[in-house]
């Protein structure tokens, strides 16, 4: 029996990972959650190092996937202590506990470790984060490396997938604004058309992680840093237009070609995924196909978000 612990199993990515792994024969999956526990998860605060040690000792997983994080850039900017607790200290504690048991650790990081000026970025490109979120995730990568030599960092870009509320992904968080613009009269709503993103479907990421875990189960664990990314570049404005089309809404939007976010964000952090592709790992669902799947599964009534 091959056992995987998913830390942060109730989140946007964590749920997709658990769903992907659940059907694997001869695999056992145990998930942890804190803010949104379910009957199928173990309640665990990853900020508590002793609780992590007890969990790992009790469950004895062969691999741990760290999907728990503070991923909201504006929150990280306002509360750097929270960002450090979740994105740095928790990673070190989990990886250290895994190392003591000889378990492989996969930690999720971000394209925001780069400044977005010289894409595409490879795993060995020099990081230069622009904001507190990127800095905390970079420190988390280093914390993993300091705690274990049997681990891997998977950097990912903007994620979207099956949601429990519109705000859970920066992609679907645009839906209420799109609906409001379609219903409003007068001036069109401005939407960022400066920063280039590569929206990546969480079930595709979960598929990639399963393939990585399969290599570990066969004794060929990947170490170091790898990237995975969707391959369709879009600005927030372009994402919103395609969302409007999927929802059959006549969104009234105007592109804004200069950055307006209070928290600095990189221009283009395209991640090169060729290291994983060389292993035969990867899957990409076209954005228009995937977003329609997401929207079809979430309530939408009366032309406005439910």
Domain residue limits, the chain: 2-160+199-227, 166-196+234-268+286-305
CB 129 within 8 A of CB 201: no
Alpha-carbon distance of 132 to 110, in angstroms, equals 12
pTM of the predicted model as reported, rounded to 2 decimal places: 0.94
Helix boundaries (H) for the chain: 12-22, 49-59, 73-78, 80-84, 90-101, 132-147, 175-183, 202-217, 236-247, 274-278, 287-297
Predicted confidence at residue 249, as pLDDT, reads 87
Predicted confidence at residue 246, as pLDDT, reads 93
CATH number for region 2-160+199-227: 3.40.50.720
Which residue from 283, 276, 304, 269 is spatially nearest to 111, judged by alpha carbons?
Answer: 269
- Each residue of 183-219: b (16+ CB within 10 Å) or e? eeeeeebebbbbbbbbbbbbbbbbbbbbbbbeebbee
Architecture of domain 166-196+234-268+286-305: Alpha-Beta Complex (3.90)
Which residue from 262, 34, 10, 6 is spatially nearest to 131, judged by alpha carbons?
Answer: 262
Question: Cis omega before residue 74 (within 30°)?
Answer: no
Please measure the distance between the N-terminal and C-terminal CA atoms of the chain and give it in whole angstroms: 42
Predicted confidence at residue 185, as pLDDT, reads 64
Predicted confidence at residue 186, as pLDDT, reads 60
Per-residue pLDDT of the chain (306 residues; tens, 9 = 90+): 999 999 999 999 999 999 999 989 999 999 999 877 777 889 999 999 999 999 999 999 999 999 999 888 889 999 999 999 999 999 999 999 999 999 999 999 999 999 999 999 999 999 999 999 999 999 999 999 999 999 999 999 999 999 999 999 999 999 988 888 877 766 778 899 999 999 999 999 999 999 999 999 999 999 999 999 999 999 999 999 999 999 998 888 899 999 878 888 999 999 999 999 999 999 999 999 999 999 998 876 444 455
């Amino acid at each position: 029996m091959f056992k995987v612990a998913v830390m942060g199993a109730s989140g946007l990515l964590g749920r997709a990972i658990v769903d992907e792994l659940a059907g694997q024969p001869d695999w056992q999956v145990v998930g942890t959650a804190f803010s949104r526990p379910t009957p199928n998860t173990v309640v665990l605060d990853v900020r508590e190092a002793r609780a992590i040690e007890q969990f790992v000792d009790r469950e004895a997983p062969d691999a741990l996937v760290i999907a728990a994080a503070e991923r909201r850039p504006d929150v990280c900017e306002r509360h750097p202590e929270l960002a450090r607790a979740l994105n740095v200290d928790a990673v070190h504690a989990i990886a250290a506990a895994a190392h003591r048991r000889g378990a492989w650790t996969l930690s999720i990081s971000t394209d925001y470790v780069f400044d977005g000026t010289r894409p595409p970025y490879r795993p060995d490109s020099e990081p230069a984060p622009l904001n507190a979120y990127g800095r905390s995730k970079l420190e988390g990568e280093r914390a993993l490396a300091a705690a274990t030599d049997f681990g891997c960092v998977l950097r990912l870009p903007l994620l979207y997938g099956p949601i429990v509320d519109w705000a859970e992904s920066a992609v679907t968080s645009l839906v209420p604004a799109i609906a409001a613009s379609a219903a409003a009269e007068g001036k069109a709503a401005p939407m960022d058309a400066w920063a280039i993103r590569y929206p990546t479907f969480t079930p595709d990421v979960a598929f990639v992680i399963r393939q990585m875990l399969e290599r570990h189960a066969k004794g060929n664990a990947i170490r170091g840093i790898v990237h995975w990314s969707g391959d369709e570049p879009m600005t927030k404005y372009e994402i919103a237009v395609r969302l409007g089309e999927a929802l059959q809404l006549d969104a009234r939007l105007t592109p804004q070609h200069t950055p307006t976010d209070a928290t600095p964000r990189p221009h283009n952090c395209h991640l090169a995924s060729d290291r994983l592709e060389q292993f035969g790992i990867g899957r990409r669902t076209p954005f228009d196909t995937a977003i329609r799947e997401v929207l079809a599964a979430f309530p939408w009534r009366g032309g406005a978000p439910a």
